[in-house]
Amino acid sequence: MSSDAPDAQREADAQRQADAMWADDRASQALGIRISGVAPGRATATMTVASSMVNGHASCHGGYLFLLADTAFAFACNTHGAPAVAAGADVAFLAPVREGELLVAEAVERVLRGRSGLYDVTVRRDGETVLEFRGRSRTLPGSPSRPPESGA
C-alpha cells in the first residue's frame, strides 16, 4: 500500500461527507452556491450575486456575503466525520460587491483541538479579497471523536 493511500482515503471521506451535507442544504442550493475543493479541513464555495441579493446601496447585502463564507466554513469543519456546528464567527467586509459578480470563498482549518476548531475563510472577487471571516466550530456532544490535533 502506498503512503498516499491514507491521504486519499481521508479526501474521499471528506468528499462523501460534503456530498451528504449538500443533499440536505436547501439554503445554499436555493442561492446558487456551489461547493468544490473539499478536503480534510478545507472547502471552497462559489456564488454569483443575484439581483435579489442587492440592497439599497446597489451592493450585495452583507448577510449574503456572510452566508457564503459561513457555508464554506460549514463544509470545511464537517470533513472529519463528527458533525460540527458554528460556535461563533467574526467578519470583516472589505469591499462592496455588485450584482452579477462571481465570489469564491476558500475555507481553511487553522486549529483543531478536541471538539473545537478554528477556521479562516477568504472571499474573493477576481482575486481581490472582499471579505475575511473567522469561524469557531464545535462538534456535537456524543459525536465520534475527531482525528488528532492539527494546525496550519
d(CA 26, CA 77): 19
Q: SS3 for 99-142, per residue?
A: CCCEEEEEEEEEEEECCEEEEEEEEEECCEEEEEEEEEEEECCC
Sign for the CA dihedral angle at 88, 93, 94, 95 comes to positive
Number of domain units in the chain: 1
Cβ atoms 49, 64 nearer than 8 A: yes
The CA-atom distances, in angstroms, between 34 and each of 40, 44, 85, 92, 109 are 18, 8, 20, 22, 19
Q: What is the pLDDT of residue 5?
A: 62
Cβ atoms 83, 140 nearer than 8 A: yes
Cβ atoms < 10 Å from Cβ of 23: 9
The band of 144, judged by pLDDT with boundaries at 50, 70 and 90, is low
Mean model confidence pLDDT for the chain: 90
The band of 143, judged by pLDDT with boundaries at 50, 70 and 90, is low
E strand or H helix that includes residue 39:
strand 34-39
The CATH number assigned to the domain holding 75 equals 3.10.129.10
Q: What is the pLDDT of residue 149?
A: 46
Q: What is the pLDDT of residue 151?
A: 47
Cβ atoms 89, 68 nearer than 8 A: no
Q: What is the pLDDT of residue 3?
A: 52
The band of 81, judged by pLDDT with boundaries at 50, 70 and 90, is confident
Tens-digit pLDDT profile for residues 96-132: 999 999 999 999 999 999 999 999 999 999 999 999 9
Tens-digit pLDDT profile for residues 8-28: 888 888 888 889 999 999 999
Pick the more confident residue, 78 or 146: 78
What is the separation, in whole angstroms, between the first and last Cα of the chain?
Answer: 27
Domain that holds residue 21: 5-151
